[in-house]
Amino acid sequence: MNFSFEKIIDISQPVDEKSACFPGDTPFSRKVTLSYESSKIINLTALTMSPHVGTHADAPVHIKGSLSPGSTADSSNDTTAGAMSLTAFIGPVAVIDLAPSKAGIAASMVKEKLKAVSERVKRVLFKTADTINFEVFEEDYSYIESDTAELLGQLGFVLVGLDTPSVDHIRSKELSTHNVLDRHGLVWLENLDLRAVEEGEYFLVALPLKFMDLEASPVRAVLLK
Ligand SMILES: [Zn+2]
């Protein structure tokens, strides 16, 4: 096996108090619980945020089941962020450039490109934005139409990602794309930053943290070239 690579491309969005947040969701905030100035030893902080702020992976329990202690959040299933299999989050990936687009990504738009992806590549990221304002939540964002989610499942993809806050339209009530992806066993990444990435094939590393009771987790997503 050859692990050498020339370049690491960071495709994660910065997270701080100015980071955009889905309307009604909990933004990032930080409290300094001990400062170096006062303690002369260390800085310590405590943080509050929805795990959907910044670049993240949703876990299946985001859209189904229960987060009550003792129900889904145990080690016997893989529905929480920390219990998900890591296999899909590491491996060859194709980036498909649709930027700039604020439309839904329909199967007809990407079918040919998906079929042209190398056979060993079972992950795909859709680039829809050339510019991103990390501090403003844009309601008008590109999302994945459910027929594309079906197609990804049929083609055997294991991960899909995009550079907007959700795989579904903001006004979607039934979250059909989330559900179709989950039914096919795909995982998905949201709020990527693909501005500096050209269409092509890379190696993805984007691991969710081992939060055993959460429905999503921040990831530090990188592409290796
Ligand atoms: Zn999410």
Q: Pairing state of beta strands 200-205 and 90-97?
A: antiparallel
| Residues identified as active-site | 62
Cα distance between residue 202 and residue 222, in whole Å: 10
- 199 has a pLDDT exceeding 70: yes
216 Cα to the center of ligand 1, angstroms: 6
What percent of the chain is predicted at pLDDT more than 90?
90
CA of 189 to the centre of ligand 1 (A): 8
Average pLDDT over residues 206-210: 98
Q: How far is CA 172 from the centre of its chain?
A: 18
Name the residue ranges covered by the structural domains of the chain.
8-13+51-224
Choose among 134, 137, 123, 125: nearest CA to 186.
123
Hey, which residues does 202 pair with through a beta bridge?
Answer: 93
What confidence score (pLDDT) does residue 168 get? 97
In this predicted structure, the answer to whether residue 70 has a pLDDT above a threshold of 80 is: no
What is residue 73's predicted lDDT score, i.e. its pLDDT? 47
Residue 183 confidence (pLDDT) above 90? yes
Measure 40 CA to ligand 1 centroid, in angstroms. 39
Predicted TM-score (pTM) of this structure: 0.95
* Residue 211: pLDDT band with limits 50, 70, 90: very high
Give 13-31 pLDDT, tens digit per residue: 999 999 999 999 999 999 9
Compute the average pLDDT of residues 161-189. 96
Superfamily designation of domain 8-13+51-224: Putative cyclase (3.50.30.50)
